[in-house]
Structure 1
Amino acid sequence: MTISHDVAGSGPALVLLHSGVCDRRMWDAQAPALIDAGYRLVRCDFRGFGQTAAAGGPHSDAEDVLELLDALGIGQAALVGASYGGQVTLEIAARWPGRVSAMVLVCSALPGHEPGPALEAVGEREDALLEAGDIAGAVELMADTWLGPDADEAAREAVHLMQRHAFEVQLAAEEFEPIEAEFDLGTIEAPCLALSGGHDLADFRRIAARLPDLLSDARHLELPWAGHLPSLERPSVVTDLLLGFLRERLPAH
């Protein structure tokens, strides 16, 4: 299946991949500036998020994204991935290194990472709330956990809207199982900027700090003001960071 997406602008291809509590709308604030800067911007929803159905049983989000790029005639693209979208970005860059020109990882997850006590507790609480049918409580937990202190009411409402929709779609599906493939980070060739948030859970701060040692060309920048979703917390700051890195590594025509 072709996952739901939108495309705008012209120039080098730039793909934005969302976190596991949001959908492609999490990049609404960044999209106009990236298009105006001269990029062909692609935003998509993984299965079970936004406008993409939770269909098809076991599936690979990385392969879904690659299939979309093929359908759009995009041979190579820069990828920006937030949280789970960062993990998908790493998988694509490792399995198909020639397809990725550059990447920005925003509070990225990492396959094989052993969750610390705080992250494990959040997951257990989320599962318990959903099993009890308390979707509203689970949504509130996600907003409280993942938004940093700079998030305004509009950001909080956006997370509520996106996360509630994802819960409802995925819980209604007969079978919803993303598959994680094994891959070697050592095969990644693309230059990388890894962002972390000073108010994020320690797991994601540790992952970002490790990436320069795991990848051949990566640098880490911690945002002391940020939680887990900085693109929603200080949108213009994240836009400027993306443009600065992309202009250096992937100049627009």
Structure 2
Amino acid sequence: MTIEYGHVADEVIWHEHGGVGDPVVLLHSSVADARMWDPQWAALTGAFHVVRTDFRGHGRTPYRANGPYGDAADVAAVLDALDLREVTLVGSSYGGRVALELATERPDLVARLVLLNAGCGLPPTPDLTGFDAAEDRLIEAGDIGGAVELNVRTWLGPEADEATREWLAEMQRHAFETQLAADPRPERRRGRIDLSLIGAPAVVVTGAHDLPYFRESARHIAGGVANATLVELDWAGHLPSLERPDEVAALLLRLL
């Protein structure tokens, strides 16, 4: 296992890689950081060369930039630094959106996609609008604890145990505190997603207990990517890799 701090445009992007074999890149949810993949790390590095990274303002990567930045561009720079091509991108939630951006803009890097309740830029539906408004109110009131609790309650399905809920709360709190403390706050620019340009095969996973917005997003992605398979997990919420970690590890090994 190797832990590195990769320099991307004079900034420090934390990343870790280990194992031998075909390259697999794990992209985390915006509610968490790269630690969310801890339960799958041993199984995956036993079969593949696995990379995971913390987006800016999450985990071990500072929330700063010398100018406008993009998370997909940061991931591409890490892969370029490691001289990796034709990787499998496994993206959870926001990490799935980053995977789609990367597959649109840098198809040379991407051989396959596994998307777990990914976003893709669809207009927000009332369920997501309501969540965003509630989160904004809590943060504006300085109630970070309330915002953390809202995220844990919303994004973890019924299979998550109390220890997992506490762990996700710690990751989310760290992200909130890191990002709110940044001065100045960097400008993040989201990349383009064009599903019609994505030639890599994709497995699109949706959870039956997830918000309707993300279930609709999964159907949209599966319908828009030429070589896509839609898989519904009837037990899952938004973060299945945390809710049933061993089952998701086995699923990823089968898919990869």
Q: How does 1:78-117 map onto structure 2 within 5 Å? A: 78-111=88-121, 113-117=122-126
**Deviation of 1:185 (Å):** 1.7
1:231 corresponds to: 241
- Aligned residues of 2:105 and 2:192 also touching (Cα < 8 A): no
Give the one of 167, 177, 200 matched to 2:176: 167
Give the one of 125, 132, 137 matched to 2:134: 125
- Aligned residues of 2:72 and 2:191 also touching (Cα < 8 A): no
Distance in 2 (CA, whole Å) between partners of 1:132 and 1:179 is 26
**Percent of residue pairs bearing the same amino acid type:** 50
**Deviation of 1:76 (Å):** 2.4
- Aligned residues of 1:185 and 1:214 also touching (Cα < 8 A): yes
**Counterpart residue identity of residue 182, structure 1:** R
1:40 corresponds to: 49
**Deviation of 1:179 (Å):** 0.7
2:167 corresponds to: 158
**Larger relative contact order (Cα-Cα within 8 Å, sequence gap ≥ 6):** 1
State the superposition RMSD in angstroms.
1.0
| 1:243 pairs with 2:253 | yes
1:204 corresponds to: 214
Distance in 1 (CA, whole Å) between partners of 2:193 and 2:51 is 25
TM-score (norm 1): 0.94
2:7 corresponds to: none
Distance in 2 (CA, whole Å) between partners of 1:241 and 1:183 is 26
The alignment partner of 1:29 has SS state of helix
Distance in 1 (CA, whole Å) between partners of 2:93 and 2:215 is 11
Distance in 1 (CA, whole Å) between partners of 2:222 and 2:195 is 11
Distance in 2 (CA, whole Å) between partners of 1:74 and 1:232 is 27
Distance in 2 (CA, whole Å) between partners of 1:143 and 1:60 is 26
Structure 1 alignment gaps of length 5 or more: 247-253
- Aligned residues of 2:33 and 2:54 also touching (Cα < 8 A): yes
- Aligned residues of 2:204 and 2:218 also touching (Cα < 8 A): yes
The alignment partner of 1:59 has SS state of coil
**Deviation of 1:2 (Å):** 4.0
- Aligned residues of 1:170 and 1:176 also touching (Cα < 8 A): no
- Aligned residues of 2:79 and 2:85 also touching (Cα < 8 A): yes
2:203 corresponds to: 193
Distance 1:183 1:223, change over 3 A: closer
| 1:220 pairs with 2:230 | yes
**Deviation of 1:210 (Å):** 2.0
- Aligned residues of 1:107 and 1:195 also touching (Cα < 8 A): yes
- Aligned residues of 2:104 and 2:192 also touching (Cα < 8 A): no
- Aligned residues of 1:194 and 1:221 also touching (Cα < 8 A): yes
Distance in 1 (CA, whole Å) between partners of 2:111 and 2:173 is 34
**Deviation of 1:7 (Å):** 0.8
